[in-house]
Chain A
């Protein structure tokens, strides 16, 4: 009796598998189409960057391809350096590197304090971290802007970086990661005579490296792409970052479209390369909050 049932189950499985094969082909086809649709805008942008900017103004982003008319002129112009593009690029680099470094160090320490000890206000403090996520930044943007003027931090990189240093999501991620680590390491360190800070830096930090990698990529991407707050804080044109600079090229007269389109392609490049190398860190960093949060 049991055998018969098993056999019928197996044959059911066999029948399923032809059905599954068809499904599999359909689903693969579906995702291929979806993938092509998603990549399409990038492809047209890259193609457009090999055509004169004048054409963009006359026709918009066109589907028509004319390989004979393709030129490298936009890129020659981009690398000729007779414009501000690489100044923006450098500013963005500096902003990204400084803010990633500081954010990671500070958030690591805060998360360490919120995870590795038991004390009275621990839960309250963690609640406050969560509370900061409940207010969209856009609401605090005006009073912060006013505050930066009062603190004489307007038009400075410090003014751009400071309000975001203790990013709640970064703290949250570190905490998530650390709560999975063995707490006995702390006691072992203490017995060996290490100070609290020594344990934090010399014992725990090395084993938190994967979390640092994921967060470096995520905060780095955020800083590289951030637009609204830097747009408010930076006033001098020589401090503009890439997103602000590119935005200034987008005039209705379209006189800068050569630079705009080639520059936009080149601006994505660093992140694309990072993504290709460290794909998993991108995904880990992104999804940590969703699973347990």
Chain B
């Protein structure tokens, strides 16, 4: 007993005891579910009846048009968020970092505010803003330009406009803060010596800011790819559940939710989830290779 106590208090055992909660959590809430979802994706699971069906779930996915719609929707959403939520926040951050603007705290706080809301509250606001009623804000706005009221959430293009508006509203401020933190790490001396060499603002941005912001950009790109591909709740809120007309708002996770939770087909839904995982990992690895993260220069 005495010996055990001594061992527990030793410098050798202590780190393992500190990290024990992580090891347990890793085993029970990561490895186990990950393996069980891989296993389930090869099974057909009905209450009290589990059957191994090999690759049938996957071959079914290949022919499942709703799933193809979901993949296309998730990709479109992700690409739009990448196009809008990386360059613009980066430029905003550069402005914010310059001496050209006062009351930075106020503007930063204002742009960050939407990130404090839950998807439910944000979804509720935008659902009402983009309502198909004549008096809704968006319909009033377009009526000033002489357009007729639109059923915003019943058409693909307009409903994506709504989804992407939500994304931009919520994440512009956050991404700007990421870039601001990255900019703080850049040595001011570089800009000063560039100025002496006669470089203008644009040149400084291209030759100093962009390359030195790369780690931040990669970080933002990585989380944006994941968040974009795994988007679900925004669409869940806009269409009040998972059923949008003609599946215009169906995403990959939405389809996983529909199959797994609403229709209780755990096997098929697991296959959907794994396809998503493979897509997300592939994109990330390609992105990291293209950005040269694995090159030796890091050391």
A binding-site residues for B, Cβ under 8 Å: 9, 20, 23-24, 27-28, 30-31, 34-35, 38-39, 41-42, 44-45, 48, 56, 58-64, 106, 109-110, 112-114, 116-117, 119, 122, 125, 128-129, 132, 134-147, 162-163, 165-166, 171, 190, 195-197, 200, 221, 224-228, 232, 242-243, 246-247, 250-252, 260-261, 264, 267-268, 271-272, 275, 279, 282-283, 286-287, 289-293
Q: Is the CB of B121 within 8 A of A250?
A: no
Q: Is the CB of B276 within 8 A of A268?
A: no
- Contact indicator per residue, chain B 18-46, by CB within 8 Å of chain A (1) or not (0): 11011101101110111011001000000
Q: Is the CB of B21 within 8 A of A228?
A: no
Q: Is the CB of B37 within 8 A of A250?
A: no
Q: Is the CB of A142 within 8 A of B266?
A: yes
Interface-located stretch among B53-61, B63-71, B110-118, B154-162: B110-118
CA distance A64 to B133 in the complex (A): 14
Q: Is the CB of A221 within 8 A of B182?
A: no
Find chain A residues with CB under 8 A from B274 CB: 139
- Interface status of B124 (Cβ within 8 A of chain A): yes
- Interface status of B232 (Cβ within 8 A of chain A): yes
Knowing A114-B19, A136-B226, the reply to whether A267 touches B11 (Cβ < 8 A) is no
- Interface status of B206 (Cβ within 8 A of chain A): no
Q: Is the CB of B128 within 8 A of A228?
A: no
CA distance A224 to B233 in the complex (A): 15
Min C-beta distance of A204 to chain B, whole Å: 11
Q: Tell me the dominant secondary structure on chain A's binding face.
A: helix
Q: Is the CB of A117 within 8 A of B11?
A: yes
Q: Is the CB of A143 within 8 A of B33?
A: yes
- Interface status of B173 (Cβ within 8 A of chain A): yes
Q: Is the CB of B29 within 8 A of A162?
A: yes
Knowing A44-B125, A221-B116, A287-B177, the reply to whether A140 touches B22 (Cβ < 8 A) is no
Q: Is the CB of A287 within 8 A of B178?
A: yes
Min C-beta distance of B272 to chain A, whole Å: 9
Find chain A residues with CB under 8 A from B253 CB: 138
Knowing A38-B111, A132-B26, the reply to whether A61 touches B125 (Cβ < 8 A) is yes
Knowing A27-B100, A142-B269, the reply to whether A119 touches B12 (Cβ < 8 A) is yes
- Interface status of B148 (Cβ within 8 A of chain A): no
Q: For chain B residues 172-200, which have a beta carbon within 8 Å of chain A?
A: 172-174, 177-178, 180-182, 184-185, 196
- Interface status of B52 (Cβ within 8 A of chain A): no
Find chain B residues with CB under 8 A from A119 CB: 12, 15-16
Min C-beta distance of B252 to chain A, whole Å: 8
Give 5 new A-B contacts, CB below 8 A, not counting A147-B32, A196-B9, A242-B118.
A61-B129, A136-B229, A166-B25, A250-B124, A286-B174
**Residue of B12, B40, B117, B126 touching A268 (CB-CB under 8 A):** B117
Q: Is the CB of A163 within 8 A of B118?
A: no
Q: Is the CB of B14 within 8 A of A196?
A: yes
Across the A-B interface, give the 3 residue pairs with the lowest CB-CB distance, nearest first: A113-B18, A60-B136, A59-B135
Knowing A63-B140, A286-B174, the reply to whether A228 touches B233 (Cβ < 8 A) is yes
CA distance A197 to B219 in the complex (A): 35
Q: Is the CB of B276 within 8 A of A112?
A: no
CA distance A112 to B22 in the complex (A): 12
CA distance A123 to B112 in the complex (A): 35
Q: Is the CB of B34 within 8 A of A166?
A: no
Q: Is the CB of A171 within 8 A of B22?
A: yes
Find chain A residues with CB under 8 A from B96 CB: 31
